[in-house]
A = this chain, B = another copy of it.
Amino acid sequence: MLTKKELREYCADAYEKYLGHISIDCVVFGFHEGLMKVLLLEIKSESEWYLPGGFVLKKEPIEMAANRILKERTGLDQIFLQQFHVFGDPERSKEHFDMYKDMLPDKENWFTNRFLTIGYYALVDFNDVNPAPDQFSTTCTWCDLNSVPQLKLDHSLILKTALDTLRLHLNYQPIGYNLMQKEFTMPELQKLYETILDKKLDRRNFQRRILGFGILKRSEQPRKGGAHKAPYLYSFDLENYRAALIEGFKGGW
């Protein structure tokens, strides 16, 4: 929790630098040991959690703002980001940091403002991330998607919407380049899909389908050293992958 002095400085600074009434919240998905992960922050001295977020500089494109915010939390640049929804309920930010509401007069208190928030979801390679807390948090950490605690504000809704959107996008976009290591086996990729969708898929049908998209390259050499039969290694064919991102998979009409 910020002191009164820190808060005053933060707010003065915010009014100076950022667009009013607009925030950005990011749902950062990672994939590790067969589990879907989300990046969360824990509020100082409370045990309340929220999504990484921030504000838009007065002359900054919003995509760049989202990138900047995530760079601060993850250390990563050039993250795969997808804007998915604006949350604009006037009550949504009422609870916003209301721990600070009595420390400054409303006029000077940035956090008593109403904020619309633009939701972005991000797909990142779990291993590349160095989680770093922000000014209001003690902890920044990965959390298993299936055991996410109650989040502050409407962040639980934002998370759910992000996940729904991601699942939808799975139907007409290639996914995985940003979540997997450079090389991976077919079962590993399948596990990713199963985790996102939260259901089992048939091995053989999965392989047939995913190969049909033409976005994978198979390495000459299978992965050695593991137990059991050595699986082939695959990587994404970036050219086709990017094309598919733009084109989309088979439409309905």
Binding site for B on A (CB under 8 A): 19-22, 56, 58-63, 65, 83, 85-86, 88-90, 114, 116, 118, 167-168, 170-172, 193, 197, 201, 248-249, 251-253
Contacts and interface: CB of A to CB of B under 8 A. Distances in A.
B89 A171 contact: no
B170 A171 contact: no
A61 B85 contact: no
A56 B249 contact: no
Nearest to A58: B114
6 contacts: A19-B20, A56-B88, A59-B114, A171-B172, A172-B252, A249-B252
A83 B84 CA distance: 10
Nearest to A83: B86
A203 to B, nearest CB: 14
Given A21-B20, A21-B21, A197-B253, A118 B86 contact: yes
B253 A193 contact: yes
Contact of A201 (B21, B172, B251, B253): B253
B59 A22 contact: no
A56 B251 CA distance: 35
Given A86-B86, A170-B252, A171-B251, 9 more contacts: A19-B114, A59-B90, A62-B86, A65-B88, A83-B85, A88-B118, A168-B248, A201-B253, A249-B252
